[in-house]
A and B are shown apart, each in its own frame.
Chain A
Amino acid sequence: MQMILFTMNQQKYLISADSVEEVVDTMAITPVPLAPKWVKGLINLRGTVMTVIGLAELINVPSAADNKNILIMKQGEDRKGLLIEEVIEVVDINKEDIQLANAEDADYYDGVVAFSAIVANIVNVNHLIF
């Protein structure tokens, strides 16, 4: 299956390409006072006001100094932005290569993949953000 490989604070992560509509460069994010801490704010995506969630804050890992990309996540008609450090590439992952699929205790990890000297966690956060 196709997955998007990205970094966040030197760590590598994978996310299913099916849940991502597009990848955009980060832009001005208007903060929303009083919102939960993992809500980074609102962006203007081609005329639509969209909420942006910080992945680092959401899954409790240190945030990077410079976040360069926003993944536009989709679920049905709903869209939300997910702020990450930087997208590296789109990779094909075989199901068999996913290890520790059920070993993680956090429900936003779907396992670990090791390939060509890279180890990456598979994250799945749609159930948290929609």
Chain B
Amino acid sequence: MDDNSAYLSLFFEESDDNLQLLNDNILELENEPDNMDLVNEIFRAAHTLKGMSATMGYDVMTKLTHKMENVFDLFKSGKLKVNSDYISLIFRCLDRLSQLVEDLREEKDLTMDQIDDLLAELDQVETSVTGATKVVAPSTSTPDSALQATFANLENADIEVARQAMGDGYNAFSIAIRIDKDSVLKGPRVFLIMEKLEQEGDVLHVEPDTQELEDGNFETDFALVYLTKDDLAEVQNNIDSNSEIDQVIIQEFDPDHPPVSQAVKDQVTASQATTPKSVTTDTPNTTPSATPSEATAKPVTKVEPPKEEHHNNVPHQNARNQSIRVDLNRLDLFLNIVSELVVYRNQLEDASARNNNDDIRDSLEQVSRLTSELQDLVLKIRMQQVSVVFNRFPRMVRDLSRELGKEIDLEVIGEETELDKTVVSELSEPLIHLFRNSIDHGVEMPADREAKGKSRVGKIILSATQEGNKVLITVKDDGKGIDAKVIKASAERKGISTDGMTDDEIKNLVFHPGFSTAKEVTNISGRGVGLDAVVAKINELGGSFEMKSELNIGTTFIIKLPLTLSIIQALMVKIGTESFAMPLDIVERVVMIKKDEILTTGTREVYAFQNSLIPIIKTDRLLAMDESDQATRFAIIVNIDQKYYGILADQLIGQQEIVIKKIDPMLQKLNKYQGATILGNGSIALILDVNAICNEAKGSR
């Protein structure tokens, strides 16, 4: 096929969108099986998906979507009652489709045996209702023996538009095209041809109408009136660049003798043709040149066949948002440039404060204000709603609870909360772990719940709220909670000592790598990985993690994430002669510490902080710098996974907002630095990766 690569990324994006839309709507359909609007929207999304995959030539995907669409058709006509078995089947189809899209993304070839099982199941559903599987509307256009560029429904208005455009230097052609009769995908093929034509001009009128063409409800021929600045040869080339065309006729369009055919069309065609025509006649009046938006809008503005009149009132897909897609790389670049600007602003402010020049100061203040606004703006542009991630959980709760025989209600709060795009895209993995935990270990079986005097239906609340420059994400269930006794017994069986631990500390053992409390391993969770992976991921994102659990009341997981990864509050310190930055949010407090207050126990150095001994990290030694012999130094007490560490520094500089700059991958591999930042005076300071440093200290015990 031609031009596939150009459409490929668009195809992936739109497939993802449509699959998500289908997932959401089908989930809703299970609750409201009689909602016809919903069925129609589902039908539209499936249809778009089919059209797109067909256009791209992905037959396997097309076949599966087509079969799925047939089932939706049965829902629509009321021949099939929506029930959860069908819904599950459709969900499996959607999963398979997502898998197919993933495969395509990785440039794998698709094969029919990837979908054979589902096709068979879908067939079964269909035959159980209809006996036969064909549910195709009768074709409306009559096959002509000879291809003719004539029109049955050409209106005077169209002819006038053509006449006017010709006066403005446009050429008008009447074109008839015959598609290869062996073409499997006539509709998409026509769509491609039209789209190509519309890149160079305007399709004024087309027969059969666009809806029919797109559905493939025609034999092989279609005809159109075309306005363009191209000459006949160029139009010919344009059309010839498509494949699967059997025959083409291009004639100059003569507005005085319009090529009107005498063929009498039946009523259905006539009534159907009127609606889409209003779409095509409007546009050339304004600008006869490029209206590609029209081409993309077409698949959305579906008109239902007149036999189901009530569907004509269905509102079209959600009102179009005034938004555009932007390549994330460009946004990254934009952010980089703005960060640069921030750095220079800081430098200028520094210089202006030194030189005390009033003329400069006033305009500099303005520049400073604008820079701050610009910085806020670019950070806002990078924000994405957490709903992108939250979307998947209703489906997951449904599937898992069915599988486990539990009844669970999911409430989602604050899904419009926004986070930096990079954080959002990393968020789903830890959340899935938490959900699996809550559904599998948290919420009890309905009978057990009743026995405890709770309602049969368990509840999980997923919420997101913004708090200052942090976002709090909580997963809260009303299940059985964590029983400190069970954990204690399990820990002792595994040889982990729990002597002198408080209940809370014991509960937190679930974050211990390799710890699982499930009595039997299910295929949902309980493989001993999970919670410790969650903690690691959240730390990597610069966030913190907390768990609260009460026996028989429930468990709450709280994730705190920074709004953005690129600008943070930092504590600036000096180690030796060099400046370093540390993220301020993990700093608990700073204490002055005398040399003899650092105790050596075996191979470790510790310090008595709040009645317990905490590890001291000698940064100068760790970084292989000259060891300081200062009598008093500063210990920056940081809190990592509810554990304190003291990080030594020679001097405190202060707290400031810094822009994180990426460093060479080669330097990142040292696992000591999160990045670097440029200070107001133009010099560079490394940002210590405190998490990695402390974890290393923990591991080296």
> Residues of A with Cβ closer than 8 Å to B?
28, 30-36, 39, 42-44, 46-49, 51, 80
Contacts and interface: CB of A to CB of B under 8 A. Distances in A.
A49 B663 contact: yes
Interface in B656-701: 661-664, 666-667, 670, 672-673, 675-678, 682-686
Contacts of B686: 30, 32, 42
B343 A47 contact: yes
**What band does the interface of chain B fall in when counting residues whose beta carbon is under 8 Å from A?**
20 to 34
B340 A48 contact: yes
Contacts of B341: 47
A49 B663 CA distance: 7
Contact of B683 (A28, A33, A48): A28
B623 A48 contact: no
A52 to B, nearest CB: 10
B14 interface: no
B269 to A, nearest CB: 56
Contacts of A48: 336, 340, 661
Contacts of A31: 578
Contacts of A51: 663-664, 666-667
Give the interface SS of chain B, mostly helix, strand, loop or mixed. mixed
B297 interface: no
Contacts of B678: 44, 47, 49
Contacts of A33: 578, 623-625, 672
A43 B344 CA distance: 15
B17 to A, nearest CB: 29
A39 B666 contact: yes
A38 to B, nearest CB: 11
Contacts of A80: 664
Contacts of A42: 663, 676, 684, 686
- Which of A31, A42, A43, A80 has its CB near the most chain B CB atoms (within 10 A)? A42
Contacts of B150: none
B625 A44 contact: no
12 contacts: A30-B684, A31-B578, A32-B667, A33-B623, A33-B624, A35-B666, A36-B666, A42-B684, A47-B340, A49-B662, A49-B663, A49-B677
Contacts of A43: 684
B53 interface: no
Contact of A34 (B339, B623, B663): B623
Contacts of B672: 33-34
Interface in B541-561: none
A81 B675 CA distance: 18
Contacts of B344: 47
A36 B675 CA distance: 17
A34 B670 CA distance: 7
Interface of B: 336, 339-341, 343-344, 578, 623-625, 661-664, 666-667, 670, 672-673, 675-678, 682-686
B683 A44 contact: yes
A44 B667 contact: no
A32 B673 contact: yes
A30 B625 CA distance: 14
Closest 5 CB pairs of A and B: A47-B340, A33-B623, A30-B684, A49-B661, A51-B664
B406 to A, nearest CB: 51
Nearest to B580: A33
Nearest to B664: A51
A7 B667 CA distance: 28
Given A31-B578, A32-B670, A32-B686, 6 more contacts: A42-B663, A42-B686, A49-B661, A49-B663, A49-B675, A51-B664
A44 B684 contact: yes
Nearest to A46: B340
Contacts of A39: 666-667
A35 B667 contact: yes
Contacts of B625: 33
A30 B685 contact: yes
A49 to B, nearest CB: 4
Nearest to A30: B684
Contacts of B676: 30, 42, 49
Given A39-B667, A47-B339, A49-B678, A30 B623 contact: no
Contacts of B340: 46-48
Contacts of B667: 32, 35, 39, 51
A33 B578 CA distance: 10
Contacts of A28: 682-684
Contacts of B578: 30-31, 33
A51 B663 CA distance: 8
A80 B666 CA distance: 12
A44 B661 CA distance: 11
Nearest to B337: A47
Contacts of A34: 623-624, 670, 672
A82 to B, nearest CB: 14
Nearest to B673: A32
A51 B669 CA distance: 14
